[in-house]
Amino acid sequence: MTPPDQPVHRSGFVALVGRPNAGKTTLTNALVGEKVGIVSNRPQTTRHAIRGVVHRPAGQLVLVDTPGLHKPKSLLGQRLNDVVRDTLADVDVIVFCIPADQPVGTGDAFIARQLKNVTTPVVLVVTKTDAAGKKAITEQLLAASKLVDAVEIVPVSAVAGDQVELLSDLLIKMLPEGPPLYPEEQTTDEDVERQIAELVREAALEKVRQEVPHSLAVSVEEIIRKPDPRDASAVFTEIHALLHVERATQKPMLLGKGGSIIKAIGSEARVGLETLLGGRVHLDLHVTVLGEWQDDPKKLNRLGY
C-alpha cells in the first residue's frame, strides 16, 4: 500500500479490442503521444499485440493494441484471434472500440459475445467521433451500450484529440496500485526488427490494391548499422527486407511498371525508418512469392505469426 503522505501511483495493462478498422491503433498512438503501431484502412493491419506505454503522474498505462477480432478464414486469422483471447485473459481493463461512423454490426456483436466470458471490467469507447455528426454519435452510443455491460462509455476522436486525456485519466483510475512497469523514456516494447517490418508493410498497404493487402507479409533479412560517411557522429543503417506475397500474379502489383511501386514503397517507408532509427537509412526491398503462407504453420512461424 502507498503511505498516506504519498500520492497513489497506479499501473497495469489495458487491452484495446474491436473489429478490424475500429480505430484501435490510432487511439493507441494518440494515448501514447507518438506512433507505436501502423495505421491503415485495410483489415488485419495489426497482426500482433502491440504494447504502447502511457506515462502520467498518477500512473502508467500499458496499452495492448490487438488485431481485430473476426470470424477467421485462414490459419493466420485463427492465430490473430488467439492473440486477442490470450491478451484478454491477462489485463486489468478491456477497452471495446466501436466506430461512430459505421453501424453497429455482426462483427461488434461477435466481439460482445466473446466479452461475456470475461470478468475483466469493460470500457466502451465510441471512436472516430470526428467522422460523425452529433445525432449519429448519440445513436451509436445507445446502440453500443446494448451490446455489452460496460462500466463506462466514452466517445472519443483520436484524430482530433477529443476526450483522449479524459479516457487516459479514467483508465488509470481503474488500475491497481503499483510502481511503473516500464522506464519513463520507453513508449513501446516492440523490438526494432518488428517495427522496421511493420513500417515497410504500412507503406506497402498504402500503395497496393485488390487482394494484395491480405496476402502481404514483410520480413527483415539484415540490419547493418555503421558510421554515416556524411557525418561521423551519426549512424547510417542499411536494411534488407523481403515483401512476401502468396501468388506469382501478385508480384507485379507490388513491383509496378519499371519498379515504380516498389520504389514508392521504399521512399515512404524510409521516412518513418529514419525517424525510428535516428539517422539516414538505405532500404533494399525485394518481392518474393511464399505460396499460401496464411494457411501454412511453418511459414507462419517463419514470419513470426
Question: Is 66 marked as a binding-site residue?
Answer: yes
Question: Is 67 marked as a binding-site residue?
Answer: yes
Q: Can you tell me the distance from the alpha carbon of 129 to that of 99, in angstroms, rounded to the nearest whole number?
A: 8
pLDDT of residue 42: 55
Question: Is 31 marked as a binding-site residue?
Answer: no
Per-residue pLDDT of the chain (305 residues; tens, 9 = 90+): 555 566 789 999 898 888 888 888 899 989 998 887 766 555 555 555 667 889 999 999 988 877 666 566 677 777 677 766 777 777 899 999 999 999 898 889 988 988 888 889 999 999 999 999 999 999 999 999 999 999 999 999 999 999 999 999 999 999 999 999 888 888 887 778 888 988 898 888 888 765 566 788 889 999 999 999 898 889 999 999 999 998 898 898 889 899 999 999 999 999 989 988 889 999 999 999 988 888 888 887 788 77
Phi, psi (deg, nearest 5) at residue 152 = -145, 150
Question: Is 3 marked as a binding-site residue?
Answer: no
How would you class 58 by CB atoms within 10 Å of its CB: exposed for 0-12, middle for 13-18, buried for 19 or more?
middle
pLDDT of residue 127: 95
> With contact defined as beta carbons under 8 Å apart, do 276 and 199 qualify?
yes
Q: What angle do CA 19, 102, 167 make, to 5 degrees?
A: 65
Q: Which residues have C-beta within 8 Å of that of residue 198, sequence separation ≥ 6?
A: 37, 38, 190, 218
> With contact defined as beta carbons under 8 Å apart, do 192 and 178 qualify?
no
Question: Is 86 marked as a binding-site residue?
Answer: no
Question: Mind listing the domains of the chain with CATH numbers?
Answer: 10-173 (3.40.50.300), 192-302 (3.30.300.20)
pLDDT of residue 47: 54
End-to-end alpha carbon distance in the chain: 40
pLDDT of residue 20: 80
Q: Can you tell me the distance from the alpha carbon of 250 to that of 193, in angstroms, rounded to the nearest whole number?
A: 25
Q: Report the 10 Å Cβ neighbour count for 54.
A: 19
What is the pairing mode between strands 93-99 and 10-17?
A: parallel
Edge-to-edge strands, sheet with 59-65: 50-56, 59-65, 10-17, 93-99, 122-127, 152-155
28, containing H or E segment: helix 24-32
Phi, psi (deg, nearest 5) at residue 108 = -65, -40
Question: Is 68 marked as a binding-site residue?
Answer: yes
Which residue type sits at 162? Answer: D
Dig out the grid coordinates for 131 from the structure. Answer: 467522422
Question: Is 127 marked as a binding-site residue?
Answer: yes
